[in-house]
């Protein structure tokens, strides 16, 4: 697609889009159902993910984010229509669940490579959650989660191999 071409009005899944310095118009994303965003630097290391507000994407049901939130997840506004949310290498330190608690239909949450995430308070408010995937999070964090919600929905993995940009995990 050349820079003068426009996207069709009925885009439902978007991946492989390279966004440079210029910000693309958001009006063509209104029917988007699935969005996978990956923010990496020239060395394929996670870099700051500047998402802003996407709450107007009312049809968005799946959101997969790989990149760092410099100010935590509080900086973004997510649509309430999300059923699946994946946060990878997001540099989370504070409890994201209060922000995520405003998602009444969220059924699957995945948190990957967030070793600094220590607190989790709002998780018990997720009555629709059917699966919680925890990959390479701090052991204390995983233990606290198991004390809050049913272990039946928790899928915990501690992988022996890490991406090359991961220095160490608890």
**Count of the separate structural domains present in the chain:** 1
Could you tell me the residue range of the domain that residue 45 belongs to? 24-157
Tell me: the pLDDT tens digits for 66-78?
888 776 666 677 8
> Per the domain annotation, does 163 fall within a domain?
no
Q: What is the CATH number of the domain that holds 133?
A: 3.80.10.10
What's the pTM value of the predicted model, to 2 decimals?
Answer: 0.77
Per-residue exposure over 26-47, b if at least 16 CB sit within 10 Å of its own CB, e if not: eeebeebebbebbbeeeeeebb
Tell me: the pLDDT tens digits for 135-159?
888 888 888 888 888 888 888 887 6
Tokens at residue 8, please?
Answer: 């069709």
Tell me: the pLDDT tens digits for 17-67?
555 545 555 555 678 888 888 888 888 888 888 777 788 888 999 999 888
* Burial (0-12, 13-18, 19+ Cβ within 10 Å), 17: exposed
> Per the domain annotation, does 95 fall within a domain?
yes
């Amino acid at each position: 697609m050349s820079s003068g071409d426009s996207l069709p009005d009925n885009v439902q899944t978007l991946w492989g889009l390279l966004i440079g310095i210029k910000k693309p118009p958001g009006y063509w994303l209104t029917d988007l159902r699935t969005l996978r965003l990956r923010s990496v630097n020239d060395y394929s290391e996670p870099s700051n993910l500047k998402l802003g507000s996407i709450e107007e994407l009312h049809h968005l049901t799946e959101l997969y984010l790989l990149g760092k939130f410099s100010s935590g997840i509080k900086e973004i506004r997510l649509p309430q229509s999300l059923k699946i949310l994946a946060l990878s290498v997001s540099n989370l330190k504070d409890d994201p669940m209060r922000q995520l608690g405003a998602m009444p239909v969220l059924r699957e949450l995945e948190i990957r490579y967030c070793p600094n995430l220590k607190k989790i308070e709002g998780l018990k408010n997720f009555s629709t959650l059917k699966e919680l995937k925890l990959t390479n999070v701090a052991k204390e964090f995983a233990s606290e989660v198991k004390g809050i919600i049913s272990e039946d929905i928790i899928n915990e993995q501690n992988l022996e191999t890490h991406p090359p940009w991961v220095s160490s995990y608890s």
